[in-house]
A and B are shown apart, each in its own frame.
Chain A
Amino acid sequence: MKTFTPPNPGAFFLYRGAEMTPPVFFELKQSVVGIAGLGGLGSNVAMALTRLKTGTLILVDFDRVEADNLNRQNYFHDQIGRFKVDATMDNLRRIYPDAELEGHKVRLTPESIVKLFARADVIAECFDRADQKQMITETVLAKMPGKVIVSVSGLAGWGGSNEIVTRQVSDRLILIGDGVSGIGPGIPLTAPRVGVAAYHQANAIVEVLMHRKMSFAARSKS
């Protein structure tokens, strides 16, 4: 386990009035994270990053909450039918009313990805479909120089927590997942395993923002 040494010890402080809450880091406060998709991955990544008071989250999803999303996505029964962007922003503001959030109810395309995430430091790929994951990963790597993308591939089913890994593919691409478990007949998406992947994703984003370099390269398996 790594011990974290703040780059500037004076730059972090505790959340006002709450002694037991985690320290808030200057680097996170200055950061902008784009979250593409607010399903099982995105709704949970947004929660984790909000709890750390990450500067600004740009939240993008065109969809509404459905009853069968509740098995893994961070929504509540009384939010069925609402836009996921609106429901997520409400949930995050219940944690911190002053959370800085930007919401867009659009279906992302290569053009809108470049536009909406222009000021993001890191982009989280939180889509459901394999071809959409491909599309945003390719777009960020090919058309958004300097941006880091954290993508996910292989999280369906249950169990096998330790098969889900964080791997640095290049200096701009971090890939989370077991690489093989796609959704299919008899292979559902479940809250615990999607959650493991989502928290790997959030943790990788924090690591990128705190260090601005891939410090986990050395301990990445391959």
Chain B
Amino acid sequence: MNRTLTINGSEKTFADSQWPVSVADLLGKLQIDQATVVAEIDGQIVERNRFSETPLHHGQQIELIRFVGGG
């Protein structure tokens, strides 16, 4: 059965075999550097040091705020 996540407003569907087991796994699949992203799940901040231990569930709304250098 396919499961979905809404990432920055866009719905993304994953086959069971592709389902990200954690926030860290999702960022790896999206090729996003963990050190430069703030993650929010259903309106709650998930701190970077908990990315690996935070599981994902079907239907969650995920906001990934990405930073690039310069200031």
From the candidates A137, A142, A173, A183, name the one contacting B70 in the complex (CB within 8 A).
A183
Residue among B9, B37, B45 with most chain A CB within 10 A? B45
Flag whether A49 is at the interface (Cβ < 8 A). no
Q: Which chain A residue shows the least CB distance to B9?
A: A222
A165-189 contacts to B (CB < 8 Å):
169-170, 173, 175, 177, 179-183, 189
What is the count of residue pairs linking A and B with beta-carbon distances less than 8 angstroms? 81
Query: How many whole Å from B47's CB to the nearest CB in chain A?
Result: 5
Flag whether B36 is at the interface (Cβ < 8 A). yes
Flag whether A57 is at the interface (Cβ < 8 A). no
| Interface size class of chain B, counting residues whose CB lies under 8 Å from the partner chain | 10 to 19
B71 and A134 contact, CB distance less than 8 A: no
Query: How many whole Å from B37's CB to the nearest CB in chain A?
Result: 6
A117-142 contacts to B (CB < 8 Å):
126-131, 133-134, 137-138, 141-142
Residues of B within 8 A of A134 (CB): 35-38, 48, 67
B68 and A180 contact, CB distance less than 8 A: yes
Q: CA A159 – CA B71 in complex, angstroms?
A: 16
Q: CA A130 – CA B65 in complex, angstroms?
A: 11
Query: How many whole Å from A147's CB to the nearest CB in chain B?
Result: 13
B48-71 interface code vs A (CB 8 A; 1 in, 0 out): 100000000000000101111111
Q: Which chain A residue shows the least CB distance to B33?
A: A130
A170 and B43 contact, CB distance less than 8 A: yes
Asked, given contacts A130-B36, A134-B48, A169-B65, whether A182 binds B70 with beta carbons under 8 Å apart, the answer is yes
